[in-house]
Structure 1
Amino acid sequence: MTPAFTRVLGSGFVTGEHCIKNDALSKICETSDEWIRERTGIEQRYFVEEGTTTSDLGVRAARKALEDAKVSADEIDYIVFATMTPDYYFPGCGSLLQTKLGIANVPALDIRQQCSGFIYGLQVCDALIRAGISKRLLFVGAEIHSGFMPWSKKAFDLITGKSQEAITPEEHARNTQFRDRTSLFGDAGGALVLGPTDDPERGLLGFVLHSDGSKAESLYVPAAGFAYRPYVNQGQVDEARYVPSMDGRTVFKMAVSKMPEAVNEVCQKVGATVDDIRMLIAHQANLRINEAVQKSLKLPDERVYNNIQRYGNTTAATIPIAYDECRKSGKVKAGDLVCFVGLGAGFHWGAALMRE
């Protein structure tokens, strides 16, 4: 018998080991706490210790979610892993996480939808469970963005407090070229354990997803791809073309228009209204974007959750982290209608509704 809905059985998240305040970044580039807060709302972010991988963060988050769900790793029959910062170009992180958790040879699927990875992945998980393919599914979103940072080891040691030795003026000036992007991101992982429910009052209710590749180069990494031969070369490294390239105005315009549209669309699809939403959990890319989305939807502060101030943009991990905090703090209660919404590179965007 096909289950009525997919429900969350457990959740958990972890961050990188090093908490980096805005003032620390001013040691390695021309920026300040005020400059970053005004533009993004971010106060701090976390970076991993060198050698920690995305799959490592995924494992740590997964263990917390499994413990919360009271589900053992050997009960998991499917893994979905969302990330844009995998340990390797290939293979993906799903099978690496599977081995590190000691899970038997169950399917491990990797998806690449960047900042909308959680929304897209959640629909995939829902489809797998509703089709009866999975009974206990582990869904992980994890990222290590510190690999994008064009900083020397000396700069990392300076911001993490391992050293007080200043970088050169030349390196400081070079780092400043990328401050609009390097100040945005953090390292973290979030995880959900999902399973079927026959309770028509609880679970995932519906999704709307969209893509538009016509503006893809407004937010992309212009290196290390098979548009080049070889796919990575010294010139790309020297020019730091592995750092994401972003047209901030286009991204902002897309986000503040497409995200409210998606929320309204998914509400209409399931026969609800925006006023029925008890908690809106948006992807945490920029606090100014989320404030504009909230204003467009006319939702009061108590029905919108933001935590970008503490973690920065952690891409596929932002929504599961925020959901875990809401769930465990009581901001989301049984019976509440929760809406997830996000937009990311591609462009991909969408929204999902869930009855807690």
Structure 2
Amino acid sequence: MQILVTGGAGFIGSALIRYLIQSTQHCVVNLDKLTYAGNDLNLVSVADSNRYAFEQADVCDRRAVKEIFNHYQPDMVMHLAAESHVDRSIDGPAAFIETNVVGTYTMLDVSREYWQQLSPDRQITFRFHHVSTDEVYGDLPHPDDDPQAREHLFREETAYAPSSPYSASKASSDHLIRAWGRTYGLPVLVSNCSNNYGPCQYPEKLIPLVILNALSGKPIPVYGTGNQIRDWLYVDDHVRALYAVITRGNVGETYNIGGHSEKRNIEVVGVICDILQKLLPPVISATHMHEGAIKYRDLIQHVEDRAGHDRRYAIDTGKIQRTLGWVPQETFESGIEKTVRWYLNNLEWCQRVVENNTPA
């Protein structure tokens, strides 16, 4: 099959493309604008494959998107292109509305026109898979307030209650997907995932930020008390789930994807510091370590909490386990050590990504 992946130079998108090229026989077209968080360095290992093609384009550019559809004639679309950083959405929400809402509309409507002119047998097998987030559901009860909180999980039928401009834009795009499915009959699927981590993640996100700040001896910022809880999902587990959804999922369905790894943010930061302490003890030097800190944990610095910060996310993965047989292979402990080791072994990648993609 010919699979069109939007946002394929980003963190999750590039992991997905590497999986598709290395573990399947499908052809892949990567449509990516190459914003600051997207980088072709993430795809060096597959760039020479005769089953891989790259098209630099904006999902909001209808003409460019139509040309790509007409040229490559995709059998499936996996839509991952999105602005995704909550802090940035608070400071500048316009880009999130443009890419996540208008861009999704553009992809949907071009897909609809394309799908309607396909032969009946190709119409039946065509799929449009929208990759979304658990943040659309808002937040859950927290165990600090409710002893029974752990029983509350996000399920596919959980009502939407987005808290940030980012999550509101993703909720909007989810609704567009379902509307195009119901109104036009476009064969759509939606997946909502928990917090991803792993290799090639842009250093503004929590885990790579902690690693790189620690290695530089800089303060490690933690919002508020750091007691916010997230469910952590290793990116390679996520892309296996995405492939299961688009190839075996039922049209019109939603699938929640989580890592079975609820952790407080302060706990995640502490674990990273401890792994670094074991693998690469810090240089005990006032010029290297912030304010005379001698351990990575000494660099942790609590800062003012994020506006509207959700306190807890956690996903019930029962549906995807029962219907598609997917379960995460990585525990948080195994995944986080793999991740830290990858960054230690790829510091040049980090430097090049930051230098080449300095945000405006």
Structure (1/2) with the larger helix percentage: 2
- Bigger RCO (CA 8 Å, 6+ sep): 1
TM-score higher than 0.5: no
The alignment's TM-score, normalised by the length of structure 2, stands at: 0.28
Structure (1/2) with the larger strand percentage: 1
